[in-house]
Amino acid sequence: MSVSIGWIVHPSDIDPRLIEALAKAGVNELGVHPGGGRMAGALMKQTLSFWLSVRGQALRALCESHGLKVECDAHVLSYLLPREEFSRHPEWFRMDEDGKRNPDSNLCASSPEALAFLEKRAYELGQKLYTPSHRYPWWPDDVRGGACHCPACRSYTKAEQALLITNAIARGVKRADPMGTVGYLAYQDTLETPRRVTPEKGVYLEFAPIDRLSDTAIDDAGCEENARQISNLPALLDLFGRENARVLEYWVDNSLFSNWRRPPVPFQLNKEVLRRDVAYYRRAGFQNYTSFACYLGPDYAAAYGEIPIEQYADIIRQTGEA
Ligand SMILES: [Zn+2]
């Protein structure tokens, strides 16, 4: 069974040199990630302008000519539902722990109008960002504790609220691309299994153990945090299915290692951890692997030279297909 190998970067990390190196190494998917945190909506807007610009279109065409499928991996919620809507529709937004409607993150997952608006906006975005792999990793806000506490939402867990949001995005995406699939991002507060909400057709599991320790394998039983990250993974795979499930890792995420502050620090691939992780994920049932790979763009190459793309892709291919 052949595996799919991805590489996820910020727009500023992309240049023709990187695209050619990825294609040469046999990477199949290039993800464009605007950035997370509270600025995710504004960053998404900038990324969209970048992709629709002449330079963005040329880079995209270069990717396609090399068989590299481009996707947008983004916390899209505050782009799809701009916070400015709060003055007109406070009931679309989440109720915080103090009982006040608050536009700070996500939305009221029990508001049919908010979900319908999200669906419509996802449809519009899907029309602008057609993706040849049909993979649309479009996620709720990148915050911890951003759930709605209104009487209707209170009985849903954070994971269930995230799935209600993901399902609405998936309905919109599928109107734009009938083969479209949308990732349910399992990380932070959403690693537990949603029970009261079922994934709609086309929603796949995107497993992103952001709180893992990077210097030891994900299945190192002696590492409490890594063990916690994967403790519920088999149940998540049972619910979402294994066929299209994808690992979204941090193996080559130099933005994480640089503490999300440029200039980037020198990067070294931990081959042993990568090999052991992929072996674990393969046994769990995955065939699709990607990783954030930010801060390894032109500024990195100018400062430090070589990026270990080939080693990364070889280890995933050899271990993932074994
Ligand atoms: Zn609510």
- DSSP 8-state assignment for residue 63: H
Structure tokens at 314: 């070889």
pLDDT tens-digit map of 263-280:
999 999 999 999 999 999
Residue at 225: amino acid letter: E
Ligand 1 centroid to Cα of residue 22, in Å, is: 43
Residue pLDDT, tens place only, 51-99: 999 999 999 999 999 999 999 999 999 999 999 999 999 999 999 999 9
What residues are neighbours of ligand 1 (ion), with CB under 5 Å? Answer: 108, 110, 148, 150, 153
What pLDDT was estimated at residue 284?
98
Using CA atoms, how far apart are residues 298 and 72, in angstroms rounded to an integer?
Answer: 20
Q: State in Å: Cα 59 to ligand 1 middle.
A: 41
What residues contact 269, with CB distance under 8 A and at least 6 apart? 251, 252, 308, 311, 312
Element (H, E) at 133: none
Task: Please give the distance, rounded to the nearest whole angstrom, from the Cα atom of residue 306 to the centre of ligand 1.
Answer: 49
- Cα of 124 vs centre of ligand 1, distance in Å, is 24
User: In the structure, what pLDDT confidence band is assigned to residue 126 with cuts at 50, 70 and 90?
Assistant: very high
Does position 145 have pLDDT exceeding 90, yes or no?
A: no
Rounded to the nearest integer, the mean pLDDT of the chain is 96
Question: Is 70 exceeded by the pLDDT of residue 14?
Answer: yes
Q: Ligand 1 centroid to 132 CA: how many Å?
A: 35
Sketch the domain layout of the chain as residue ranges: 1-75+208-322
What's the gap in Å between 200 CA and the centre of ligand 1? Answer: 20
C-alpha torsion 173→77→135→182, nearest 10: -70
Ligand 1 centroid distance, CA of 140 (Å): 15
Taking residues 219-239, report their average pLDDT.
97
Q: Measured in angstroms, how far is the CA atom of residue 161 from the centroid of ligand 1? A: 9
CA of 156 to the centre of ligand 1 (A): 9
List the structure tokens of 312: 């990364």
Residues 223-244 have a mean pLDDT of 97
What is the phi/psi pair of residue 241, to 5°? 90, 155
Q: What percent of the chain has pLDDT over 70?
A: 100
The fold adopted by the segment(s) 1-75+208-322 is TIM Barrel (3.20.20)
Residue 214 — very low, low, confident or very high, per pLDDT cuts 50/70/90? very high
Question: What's the pLDDT band for 1 if we cut at 50, 70, 90?
Answer: low
Average pLDDT, integer, range 247-264 = 96
Instruction: Quickly tell me which residue has 């916390």 as its tokens.
Output: 75
Q: For 93-102, how does the pLDDT look when each residue is reduced to its tens digit (9 = 90+)?
A: 999 999 999 9
